[in-house]
Amino acid sequence: MAFLTGLALQAKLTLSKSALVAIAATESRHNTWSLIDVFKSSPFAGPTDTVFPYANEILDFTNVWVINGSCPAENPVFPSPRQNLPSMSPSLSTKSIAPGSVLTLNFTQPHNQPHFAPGTDYYAVFFHGVYNISVPFDTTNNSTVIPSEIEALGIIIVVIADKEGAPTKENVLAGPLILPESPAVLASIY
């Protein structure tokens, strides 16, 4: 769903928009089933799912699950265009994903690390529902605080950006990271 909300922003033809709504309806059923039956957690997301505008960045991070060299060499670059942004996860010390709690990030790919210039402001941009909130990202300890204004339901998508609100995809320097605001889902990730 996080991918589809961004893709819908790119659709130009009415036919494509209706196809995306049709796919989104099916994906929502899959989400609901997995949250209830697999993760034994709440299937609710508040009034809306989270809209994240950069659909390819969502596809891109699925590359961490592809074994290098396992696809035919003729395959095109996936996705296209590919930004190959550094992946990130909550550091292993994370106890909960809740509004108001500290979030320390681990950039998990040793050969794909973000580069932060000293004396420069960076932001953690949190997308939730149909809005986003930017807060300072401290590059001395790679920590930030999940904004307390966020409703404690559904998923949060976070990126590290060099501009508040990450207005273009080029402003995104690391991520995205999808955070489930559900202790049951977090426990199953670790």
Residue numbers of the site for ligand NAG (CB under 6 A)? 53, 68-69, 91-92, 102, 104, 106-108, 113-114, 132, 138, 140-143, 165-167
Strand partners, 144: 103
Cα distance between the two ends of the chain: 22
* Least separation in angstroms between CB 149 and ligand NAG: 13
The count of other CB atoms within 10 Å of the CB of residue 71 is 10
Residue closer to ligand NAG by CB (options 36, 138) is: 138
Residue closer to ligand NAG by CB (options 31, 104) is: 104
Beta strands 172-180 and 155-161: pairing type? Answer: antiparallel
* Least separation in angstroms between CB 74 and ligand NAG: 15
Residue closer to ligand NAG by CB (options 16, 84) is: 84
Q: Please return the burial class of 123, using the count of CB atoms within 10 Å of its CB with bins 0-12, 13-18 and 19+.
A: buried
CA distance 73 to 63: 15
CA distance 184 to 178: 15
Residue closer to ligand NAG by CB (options 35, 126) is: 126
Residue whose structure tokens are 């300072």: 136
Residue closer to ligand NAG by CB (options 43, 82) is: 82
* Least separation in angstroms between CB 20 and ligand NAG: 18
* Least separation in angstroms between CB 117 and ligand NAG: 11
Phi, psi angles (nearest 5°) of residue 6: -75, -40
> Which residue type is seen at 157?
I
* Least separation in angstroms between CB 134 and ligand NAG: 7
